[in-house]
Amino acid sequence: MARQDRQSMDYGAELKRLRQEGPKRVYILRGEEDYLRDSYLAELKKLCVAEGTEAFNHHRLQGPGLDMQALTESVEAMPFMAERTLTEVRDFDVNRTAGYDGEALKALLADVPAWATVAFVFSPGAAPDMRLAAVKAMKKAGEDLVFTSPGEGALIRWVIRRAEDMGKTIDPRTAGHLIWVCGERMNSLIPEITKIAGYAAGKAITEADVDAVAKRAPETTIFDLTDALGSGNYDAAARLLADLLADKDEPPQRQIAMVSEQFRRLYVARLAQDSGKGAAYITACVPELTGRSYPLQLLQKACRNFSADRLARAVGFCAACDYAMKDTGGEPEALMKELVLRLALDRT
């Protein structure tokens, strides 16, 4: 069952279907939410590999440099003291599979033994190009599952359960604030919840606890930066810019893109307010905010610090910065600083 990357997965429904229908012969497991991806893989392993036979029937292969002969031998190996086998292939470089290897892969996928399951597991940074012939052959042979965020409501409930496991309570609004501050990826949230629970002096985790020790996601820092510019807090804007430029995990090119995206969102929200339109108009224009009430509320509040004209100019400044970076070879960090300065000086 193929899915588009932008569609939201119903993880519970997929897990239920797996348990009811049993393992298929071929899986593509990909997407940004690697915690759910690995949880699904663990459930798949339970169904495929009999307890005590892992050493014989669970074959693990690493993708880069994978030899097609090794893959074929793993998939075709008969189960030992069990009914099924599972071949787990991590980050297979299918985008470079062509010629003889491409034909060998297609032949293997077209004739996977009835006792075998092969799962191609892709990290977020190693996603396959779904347009390629070899990838299309993988999709045709089995299940293509794209693991996305479970949605705001489900994620909030998950955060509450994680906090309870550590002897703490957290109300839904504070859980939403934690997700906003730290980002939606569950594997990133786990250590942050642990750290915040350890810091919180009381039984209940508060927003102050979150703000005191949580590592802020780059998107959240970008929001804080644009909010500081809108409210005229230029000292805070300068500190936030310094924090962003010191973050070696997020290059200035991506930071410029995030600033541009944030001002486009603010502009949409401001136009919605000025025309008497509500949240439905904003989410129609910014679909990634659908079902995310907490960031939507923050956006609607933040846009009041800007006039529509100022936001229109800000979008233009961002476009000019992007042009200077891509078409004239401007140095990204210097352009990021110049962009923030222009945005700060335009106060009308």
Q: Which residues are CB-contacts of 117 (< 8 A; sequence separation ≥ 6)?
A: 23, 24, 25, 26, 27, 44, 48, 84, 85, 86, 87
Residues 120 and 207 in one domain: no
pLDDT tens by residue, 8-19: 788 999 999 999
Confidence of residue 263 (pLDDT cuts 50, 70, 90): very high
Q: Which of 12-21, 97-106, 174-183, 201-210 has the lowest mean pLDDT?
A: 97-106
Q: Where a domain ends, among 119, 146, 173?
A: 146
- Has residue 2 got a pLDDT over 70? no
Residues 158 and 265 in one domain: no
Residue 44 has a pLDDT of 97
Residues 222 and 304 in one domain: yes
Q: Is 204 helix (H, G, I), strand (E, B) or coil?
A: strand
pLDDT tens by residue, 286-313: 998 988 899 999 999 999 999 999 999 9
Q: Where a domain ends, among 190, 213, 236?
A: 213
Residue 97 has a pLDDT of 79
The rounded distance, in Å, linking the Cα atoms of 193 and 180 is 13
Q: Is 158 helix (H, G, I), strand (E, B) or coil?
A: helix
Residue 6 has a pLDDT of 42
Residues 204 and 267 in one domain: no
Please state the pTM of the whole predicted model.
0.82
Domain count within the chain: 3
Domain that holds residue 62: 11-146
- Has residue 23 got a pLDDT over 70? yes
Residue 131 has a pLDDT of 87
Helices (H) and strands (E) in the chain, counts: 17, 5
Residues 16 and 140 in one domain: yes
Structure tokens at 46: 């339970």
Q: Where a domain ends, among 117, 146, 175?
A: 146
| Phi, psi dihedrals of residue 96, rounded to the nearest 5° | -105, 10
Give the burial string for 49-58 (b: 16+ CB within 10 Å, else e): bbeebeebbe
Q: Which of 88-92, 124-128, 159-163, 196-200 has the lowest mean pLDDT?
A: 124-128
The rounded distance, in Å, linking the Cα atoms of 340 and 252 is 12
Q: Which CATH number is 189's domain given?
A: 1.10.8.60
Residues 277 and 164 in one domain: no
The rounded distance, in Å, linking the Cα atoms of 197 and 35 is 20
Evaluate whether residue 127 is within a structural domain: yes
Of all residues in the chain, the percent with pLDDT exceeding 90 is 78
pLDDT tens by residue, 47-76: 999 999 999 999 999 977 788 899 999 999
Residue 161 has a pLDDT of 97
Evaluate whether residue 1 is within a structural domain: no
| Higher pLDDT pick, 131 / 181 | 181
Confidence of residue 7 (pLDDT cuts 50, 70, 90): low
Q: Is 88 helix (H, G, I), strand (E, B) or coil?
A: strand
- Has residue 4 got a pLDDT over 50? no
pLDDT tens by residue, 238-256: 999 999 999 888 899 999 9
**Parallel/antiparallel/unpaired status of strands 26-30 and 85-90:** unpaired
Residues 88 and 175 in one domain: no
Confidence of residue 329 (pLDDT cuts 50, 70, 90): confident
Distance set, CA 210 to CA 88, 178, 247 (Å):
38, 6, 20
Structure tokens at 107: 């032949």
Residues 204 and 227 in one domain: no
Residues 105 and 222 in one domain: no
Mean pLDDT of the chain: 92
Evaluate whether residue 5 is within a structural domain: no
C-alpha torsion sign, points 303, 309, 310, 316: positive
- Has residue 5 got a pLDDT over 60? no
Residue 67 has a pLDDT of 84
Residue 3 has a pLDDT of 36
Residue 249 has a pLDDT of 84
Q: Which CATH number is 30's domain given?
A: 3.40.50.300
Residues 230 and 169 in one domain: no
Distance set, CA 254 to CA 29, 67, 144, 200 (Å):
26, 35, 29, 33
- The total of other beta-carbon atoms located within 10 Å of residue 72's CB is 15
Residues 225 and 258 in one domain: yes
The rounded distance, in Å, linking the Cα atoms of 270 and 13 is 38
- Has residue 45 got a pLDDT over 90? yes
Sequential DSSP letters for 97-136: --HHHHHHHHHHHHT--TTEEEEEE--GGG---TTSHHHH
Q: Which of 31-35, 99-103, 151-155 has the lowest mean pLDDT?
A: 99-103
The rounded distance, in Å, linking the Cα atoms of 226 and 246 is 18
